[in-house]
């Protein structure tokens, strides 16, 4: 057994023993890996002749596919041999634009083995965004579902210039490219992979510092940038594994679409680092919480990770009517409102544990198994990480004081932290003074618990008071009629900056003056005067990234446009219009 694999397995097995938090934090040491390819060195090691189910795939057509570890080892070897044959070179970037399928997972493993760099892309991206990503990342190959292949016909110029091959994962037999406009990339049906050998030997050395898996950011506040991770990245996710609590024999369900870092986090590296089963449900049409919950019950899911937006929809349903096999439930991607955690506990008697990380990292903060949790806190520093709350001048903040979350990267850089961005100016702004600066604001209490405040872009001041949108949103979320809320700064008739709450109501409630009054009364009763929203506007839905994060900058821009027109939005209400009624309710 090579030294690197031995070191990785030693740390992996320590994590899977689930020592208590203090012991894990104290004894956790990142391995030093020089030559390491997770798919070749680790996955193939555990997968050879292993008939345990690595992937359980189900869909709305009634298909159930139990793919063993050894099956995926062989299939990914065929993919690697196929990529070598069509000309992929080490470090070539490969876009993967697919929905969940068994093929997706064998392709991801195959690209890793062949030395390519995975660049996932959401299938719902418009053609112009696909073109921008191909150009920005210098994509050479693309695996794409046949159902969306037509998107490439809209960007022939970029495709012809950059792509060497388009691999159609489906049944189409003709290229979508017009050869008269230039030399098109070769077009290949994925079925060709069947013709290649099930054993693969690389002709190169993979170093742990070679690029492996890179993501475009979700772009909630700025233009998406490429986050570059190297072959240490899967090792970094041992912190995520410790947080999730997954172990061998578990059936782990991560509710996340391909195209985003969370899919790699918890549909690939967490379950397979644990030698567990990754459960995948590909549904048709809109997200249906009843269908999802029935699958969680039927397939006896034991560990579950879902974002805040999903937990909100789950809580509309009668959770007590299901007989779940769940043991551990976690959530990441957006900060959890305390009311959500409370309601989940009341309904299924499990602690919903929050985790904090980024596209640029693995789990950095979390509420870990067996640890005491505090209301409103996202937990403590993950093993392997050393975090600080910093001022703009990188001075350490005192307990309870807001500051930016900084990750200590000197003398030891956590293996889950990005290698770099594809933007030198961005790199200069986030790697400073021995820190990686997260761009997120939080504070820490005397016991080491972190409390999320917001993105540095989202926090604002009103009458010299600091307003945390998340803090205000969490309090409004306690109202029984509210499904989602987003707080942004606006201006009142005196041109003073004040908070405004955009609200999406639950299905049984409709926007009205009466509902606005009820909410203003609730806000007055539960919230300090300085942070009370002075405006409420009801929306049918929020602008979101394809990873389901609310784009607050779009809400701010929309509000500013309405203000410039000197009109009131259709479902906007001002606190001042209810002053008499609000006085009488005090």
Judgement on whether residues 9 and 139 belong to the same structural domain of the protein: yes
| Dist CA 161 CA 155 (whole Å) | 10
Specify the residue for token string 């392709």: 107
Range of the domain at 548: 460-585
> Residue 219 sits in a domain of what CATH number?
3.40.50.12780
CB atoms within 10 A of CB 370: 10
246 in a structural domain: yes
DSSP assignment of 472-504: HHHHHTTSTTEEEEEEEEEE-TT--EEEEEEEE
Which of 327, 351, 375 marks a domain boundary?
351
Please tell me the predicted confidence (pLDDT) of residue 220.
47
Q: What domain count does the chain have?
A: 2
Which of 351, 370, 385 marks a domain boundary?
351
Most confident of 61-75, 223-237, 459-473: 61-75
Whether residue 180 is predicted with pLDDT greater than 60 in this model: the reply is: no
129 in a structural domain: yes
Buried b (16+ CB within 10 A) or exposed e, 298-316: ebebbbbbbbbbbbbbbbe
Backbone angles phi, psi at 453, to 5 degrees: -105, -45
DSSP assignment of 376-412: T--BEEPTT--EEEE-TTSPBPPTT--EEEEEE-SS-
Whether residue 224 is predicted with pLDDT greater than 80 in this model: the reply is: no
255 in a structural domain: yes
84 in a structural domain: yes
| Dist CA 400 CA 566 (whole Å) | 40
Specify the residue for token string 């409103």: 376
For 333-356, how does the pLDDT look when each residue is reduced to its tens digit (9 = 90+)? 888 888 899 999 999 999 999 999
Judgement on whether residues 63 and 188 belong to the same structural domain of the protein: yes
Judgement on whether residues 137 and 13 belong to the same structural domain of the protein: yes
Judgement on whether residues 340 and 488 belong to the same structural domain of the protein: no
- Stretch (H or E) spanning 111: helix 102-114
360 in a structural domain: no
Lowest-confidence pick of 43-57, 116-130, 214-228, 432-446: 214-228
419 in a structural domain: no
Judgement on whether residues 194 and 328 belong to the same structural domain of the protein: yes
**Do the beta carbons of residue 306 and residue 350 sit within 8 Å?**
no
For 351-389, how does the pLDDT look when each residue is reduced to its tens digit (9 = 90+)? 999 999 999 999 999 999 999 999 999 999 999 999 999
Please tell me the predicted confidence (pLDDT) of residue 182.
44
Judgement on whether residues 272 and 125 belong to the same structural domain of the protein: yes
For 502-514, how does the pLDDT look when each residue is reduced to its tens digit (9 = 90+)? 999 999 899 999 9
DSSP assignment of 503-529: EEE-TT----HHHHHHHHHHHHHHS-G
Judgement on whether residues 323 and 470 belong to the same structural domain of the protein: no
> Residue 476 sits in a domain of what CATH number?
3.30.300.30
Judgement on whether residues 488 and 344 belong to the same structural domain of the protein: no
Judgement on whether residues 480 and 340 belong to the same structural domain of the protein: no
Lowest-confidence pick of 27-31, 163-167, 292-296, 484-488: 484-488
Judgement on whether residues 170 and 300 belong to the same structural domain of the protein: yes
| Strand-strand pairing, 53-59 and 251-254 | unpaired
150 in a structural domain: yes
The overall average pLDDT reported for the chain is 91
**Do the beta carbons of residue 268 and residue 237 sit within 8 Å?**
no
Which of 351, 367, 386 marks a domain boundary?
351
386 in a structural domain: no
């Amino acid at each position: 057994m090579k030294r690197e694999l031995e070191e990785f397995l030693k740390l992996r097995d320590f994590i899977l023993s689930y020592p208590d938090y203090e012991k894990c934090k104290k004894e956790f040491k990142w391995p030093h890996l020089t030559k390491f390819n997770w798919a070749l060195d680790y996955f193939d090691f555990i997968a050879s002749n292993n008939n345990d189910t690595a992937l359980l795939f189900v869909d709305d057509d009634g298909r159930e596919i139990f793919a063993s570890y050894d099956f995926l080892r062989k299939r990914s070897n065929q993919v690697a041999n196929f990529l070598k044959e069509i000309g992929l070179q080490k470090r070539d970037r490969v876009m993967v634009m697919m929905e969940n399928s068994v093929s997706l997972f064998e392709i991801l493993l195959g690209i890793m083995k062949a030395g390519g760099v995975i660049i996932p892309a959401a299938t719902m991206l418009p053609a112009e965004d696909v073109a921008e990503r191909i150009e920005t990342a210098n994509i050479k190959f693309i695996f794409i579902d046949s159902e969306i292949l037509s998107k490439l016909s809209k960007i022939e110029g970029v495709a012809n210039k950059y792509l060497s091959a388009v691999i159609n994962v489906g049944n189409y037999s003709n290229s979508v490219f017009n050869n008269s406009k230039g030399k098109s990339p070769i077009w290949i049906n994925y079925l060709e992979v069947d013709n290649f050998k099930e054993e693969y030997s690389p002709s190169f050395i993979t170093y742990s510092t070679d690029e492996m898996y890179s993501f475009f950011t979700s772009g909630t506040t700025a233009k998406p940038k490429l986050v570059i991770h190297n072959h240490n990245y899967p090792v970094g996710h041992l912190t995520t594994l410790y947080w999730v609590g997954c172990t061998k024999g578990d059936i782990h369900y991560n509710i996340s679409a391909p195209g985003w870092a969370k899919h790699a986090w918890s549909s690939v590296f967490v379950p397979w680092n644990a030698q567990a089963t990754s459960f995948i449900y590909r549904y048709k049409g809109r997200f249906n919480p009843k269908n999802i919950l029935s699958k969680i019950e039927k397939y006896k899911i034991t560990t579950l990770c879902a974002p805040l937006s999903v937990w909100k929809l789950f809580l509309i349903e009668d959770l007590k009517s299901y007989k779940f096999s769940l043991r551990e439930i976690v959530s990441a991607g957006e900060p959890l409102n305390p009311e959500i955690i409370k309601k989940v506990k009341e309904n299924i008697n499990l602690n919903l544990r929050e985790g904090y990380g980024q596209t640029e990292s693995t789990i950095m903060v979390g509420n870990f198994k067996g640890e005491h949790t505090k209301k409103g806190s996202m937990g403590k520093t993950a093993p392997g990480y050393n975090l600080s709350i910093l001022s703009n001048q990188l001075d350490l903040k005192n307990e309870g004081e807001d500051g930016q979350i900084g990750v200590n990267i000197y003398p030891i850089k956590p293996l889950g932290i990005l290698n770099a961005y594809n933007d030198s100016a961005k790199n200069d702004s986030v790697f400073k003074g021995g820190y990686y600066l997260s761009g997120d604001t939080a504070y820490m209490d005397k016991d080491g618990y972190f409390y999320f405040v917001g993105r540095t872009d989202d926090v604002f001041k009103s009458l010299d008071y600091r307003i945390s949108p998340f803090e205000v949103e969490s309090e409004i979320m306690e109202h029984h009629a509210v499904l989602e809320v987003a707080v942004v700064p606006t201006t009142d008739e005196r041109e003073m900056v004040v908070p405004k709450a955009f609200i999406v109501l639950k299905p049984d409630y409709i926007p009205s003056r009466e509902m606005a009054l009820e909410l203003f009364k609730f806000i007055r009763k539960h919230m300090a005067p300085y942070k009370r929203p002075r405006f409420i506007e009801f929306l049918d839905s929020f602008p979101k990234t394809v990873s389901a994060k609310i784009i607050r900058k779009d809400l701010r821009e929309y509000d500013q446009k309405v203000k410039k027109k000197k009109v009131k939005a259709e479902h906007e209400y001002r606190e001042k219009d209810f002053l008499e009624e609000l006085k009488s309710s005090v």
